[in-house]
Amino acid sequence: MANTDGPKGFRFVRSLAGEVSIERILMAASQTIAKGDALELSAGTAIIATATSGLILGVAAESKTSTASGSVYLHYYPAVPWAVFRGQTNSTYTSTTHDQTEGDIQGTTGIMELNEAGTTEDVVHFLGLADGTTDAASNAKVDFIFIRSSYLPLLALKA
């Protein structure tokens, strides 16, 4: 049975060690961010991340829209290396070639997904198929961690 193509962003699923506390940050002005969107920092405020974002701040825990003047706070899960997230791949994912490898994010607000063949930024590290997922193919649900984040700047230096 084929996987459904329905990207909804990313969600926090578990911690590999310790706790992962939801954080709060001021959003940049005139932003629309959906629950599950990857975030990055811009001048000390949160904006939606893109495929070329080199450092991920975290994943939005709620949907919010900020005003032109800003002053709206957003809750998010930080992209610490022990936080495991789940997302959908954009094309063919095979556990034999993609487990324990790196990839990129892609998409826009509300429909972010993972590019397992992407090598532009390598911000995610694939851990494998999500629990209960048996079809390693197009649009597979996978678990991953962020390896280039605002919380782990040493890995920001891509080789």
Closest CA to 136 of 98, 86, 79, 83: 98
Give the pLDDT of residue 8: 85
Residue span of the structural domain in which 70 resides:
18-78
Mean pLDDT of the chain: 88
* Coil, helix or strand at residue 149: strand
135 confidence band (pLDDT: 50, 70, 90): low
pLDDT, position 59: 98
Q: 78, 111, 126 — which closes off a domain? A: 78
In a domain, residue 25? The reply is yes
In a domain, 10, yes or no: no
Q: Are residues 85 and 147 in the same domain?
A: yes
**One domain for residues 99 and 133:** yes
Residue 88 lies in a domain: yes
**Predicted model pTM:** 0.90
The pLDDT of residue 62: 98
Whether residue 12 is contained in a domain is answered as: no
End-of-domain residue from the set 56, 78, 100: 78
The Cα-based distances of 57 to 25, 93, 118, 139 in angstroms read 10, 25, 19, 24
Residue 8 maps to a domain: no
- pLDDT tens track for 19-35: 999 999 999 999 999 99
Grade residue 128 by pLDDT with cuts at 50, 70 and 90. Answer: confident
**158 found inside a domain:** no
Cα(127)–Cα(98) distance, integer angstroms: 9
Whether residue 147 sits in one domain with residue 87: yes
* pLDDT reported for residue 49: 96
Last residue of a domain, one of 51, 78, 105: 78
Residues of the chain with pLDDT > 70: what percent?
91
Q: Which helix (H) or strand (E) holds 98?
A: helix 95-98
Q: What pLDDT is stored for residue 1 in this prediction?
A: 56
**Is residue 6 a part of any domain in this protein?**
no
Q: Into how many domains does the chain fold?
A: 2
pLDDT at 94: 74
Residue 156 has pLDDT above 60, yes or no: no
Residue 63 lies in a domain: yes
| pLDDT tens digit sequence for 84-104 | 999 998 877 777 666 778 889
